[in-house]
Amino acid sequence: MANRKLRMGMVGGGQGAFIGAVHRIAARMDGLIDLVCGAFSSDPAKSKATGESLFLPAERVYGSFEEMMEREAALPADQRMDFVSIVTPNHLHFAPAKLALERGFHVVLDKPMTFNLQEALELEKIVKQSGLLLCLTHTYTGYPMVKEARQVVLSGRLGRIRKVYVEYPQGWLSEHIEGGENKQANWRTDPGKSGMAGCMGDIGTHAFNLAEYVTGLKVIRLCAQINTVVPGRKLDDDGAVLLEFDNGATGVLMASQIAAGEENCLKIRVYGEKGGLEWKQDEANSLWLKWLHEPAQLLRTGGPGLSSYAQHNTRVPAGHPEGYLEAFANLYRNFALTLQARLQGTKPQPEWLDFPGVEEGVRGMRFIERVIESGKTDKKWVEL
C-alpha cells in the first residue's frame, strides 16, 4: 500500500488563538499532513470564519467537536480525518480527546494533558484500551539538541547523574493583564479553564517534562514554594521546587511568569560524575558538554558528533538555525511517521517513536497536583 499524506482535523485554534496557529504551521511544515477539517470555536460563526481563512471547504468546518467527530466518522475511509489535533484550553482537553478516541481517531493534544489528574488517569485508560496513538505536545523535547542531550545522558558519558537544574522564567504576567484583550492571559489565569495551577501548569510542566526526558529519571518527591505574586491573581504565577530523583540525584525546578523582562528561556543543566550538559532555548541549536578534566565542547544542530536522534530531527545543515516551529513540527513529523508506518503495517524507526504521549501526560498532571499541594503544606516533602 502506497504511503499517503495524513488528514488532520482540529479542535480549537480559532482566530486570535496563538497555539492553534502554531500547531497548524507545525503540522504543515513537512508535507506529511493536510488539515482537512476543524471545529475551531464553540461559536459556529467564528469556526466558519476560521475555516474560510484556512481555505477549507465549508462542509468540513464544524460548529462543535461533537459534530465533527460524528460527521467525520461517517465519511468514507479515504476521506475522513486520520487524527485530531486538540488545541483548546485545558478544561476542554479531555472531552474531545475521549470522544475522538472512542470514534477511532488518533489524537494530538496540547499540554498539560487534562484539567486534573483524575481526567488524566481516565484518559490513559482510554488510550491504552483503544490502541490508538496520542501525542502530547511538549514542544521542547522536539529540539534536536534536546534529543541529543537525552542521548548523551543515556549513553553514560556523563556518568551517574547527580544534579539537575531546570528553569523556565517568563515575565509576561508581571502585571495584572487578565480580564482584558489578552486571551492567553485570560484563560491561563482562570482556575475554571486552566485547572488548579497557573504557572506550574502552563510552564512548570514543560520544565518538569524536560528534566525527566533529558535525564531518563523520575522525580520521586518534591518541596515547593508556590507564589501568587500579582495582587488579584487567582492562580500561582511563580514558584520554585526542590526535587529528588529515583536514582538519588537532586534538582531544582524554577518557573515564573513574573520574572519581568524575561521572554521564554527554558534552560536545563544536568551534571553527572564525569561532566555536565547545558541547553537553553535562546540558543536552541547549541548543546554544551562540560567535562571534569577536558575542555568543554559545543555540539551544534547539524554539526559533527551527533546521534541518530539529533540527525533525524534536523532539516538543514549546521549554521542554519532551526527554531521553535521546527521543534514543534518534529513532534508532528514523528507522530505522522509512526502513524504512516502503522497504516502501512511497517515497523517504525526508534527515532520516530520518540514523542511524548499519555504517560508523560499523566506524569505532568501528577506533578501539578503534588506541587500545588506542596506549596500549601508545612511538611517539607511531598511524594510524587
Binders of a second copy among 157-176, rule CB under 8 A?
158-159, 162-163, 165, 167, 169-172, 174-175
Closest approach, Cβ 353 to a second copy, in A, equals 22
CA of residue 119 relative to chain centroid, distance: 17
* Virtual torsion, Cα 108, 113, 119, 122, nearest 10 deg: 50
Nearest to 334 by CA among 316, 308, 359: 308
DSSP-derived pairing of the beta strands 161-169 and 219-227: unpaired
The count of chain residues that interact with a second copy, using the rule CB under 8 A, is 95
Residues in 42-101 that interact with a second copy by CB under 8 A: 52, 54-55
Residues in 298-337 that interact with a second copy by CB under 8 A: 298-300, 302-305, 315-326
For residue 134, the cross-strand partners are 107
DSSP 349: P
Q: How far is the CB of 260 from a second copy (least distance, A)?
A: 5
> Which CB atom, from 74 or from 379, has the smaller least distance to a second copy?
379
CB 328 within 8 A of CB 23: yes
341 part of the interface to a second copy, by CB under 8 A: no
Residues with Cβ within 8 Å of residue 105, at least 6 apart in sequence: 9, 69, 72, 73, 81, 82, 83, 84, 132
Give residues 207-226 in contact with a second copy (rule: CB under 8 A): 223, 225
Does the footprint of a second copy cover residue 343 (CB under 8 A)?
Answer: no
- Between 2 and 21, how does the x/- string for binding to a second copy read (CB under 8 A)? xxxx------------x--x
CB-count exposure of residue 74 (10 Å: 0-12, 13-18, 19+) = exposed
CB nearer a second copy, residue 134 or residue 254 = 254
If the CB atoms of residues 110 and 124 are measured against a second copy, the closer one turns out to be 110
CB-nearer residue toward a second copy: 79 or 377: 377
> In the bound complex, what is the minimum distance in angstroms from residue 356's beta carbon to a second copy?
18
x-or-dash string of contact with a second copy, 266-295, rule CB under 8 A: ---x-xxxxxx----xxxxx---xxxxxxx
183 binds a second copy (CB under 8 A): no
CB 240 within 8 A of CB 186: no
Per CB under 8 A, which of residues 221..250 are in contact with a second copy?
223, 225, 227, 229, 238, 240, 242, 244, 250
Ramachandran assignment for 195, one of left (phi > 0), alpha (psi -120 to 50 degrees), beta (any other): left
Q: Closest CB to a second copy among 72 and 238?
A: 238
User: At closest approach, how far in Å is the CB of 288 from a second copy?
Assistant: 8
74 versus 181: smaller Cβ distance to a second copy: 181
Contacts of 144 (CB under 8 A, 6+ apart): 285, 301, 302, 306, 309, 310, 311, 313, 314, 322, 330
* CB 200, min distance to a second copy, A: 14
Q: Provide the minimum distance between the beta carbon of 322 and a second copy in the complex, in angstroms, as a whole number.
A: 5
Residue number with CB closer to a second copy (283 or 351): 283
CB 356 within 8 A of CB 213: yes
Neighbours of 41 (CB within 10 A): 25
353 closest CA partner among 371, 376, 373, 330: 330
Q: Which is nearer to a second copy, 25 or 75 (CB)?
A: 25
Shorter beta-carbon distance to a second copy: residue 114 or 374: 374
CB of 249 to a second copy, least distance (A): 9
SS3 state of residue 264: coil
Distance CA 14, CA 38 (A): 9
Q: Which of residues 355-384 bind a second copy (CB under 8 A)?
A: 377-381
> In whole angstroms, what is the distance from residue 317 CA to residue 128 CA?
39
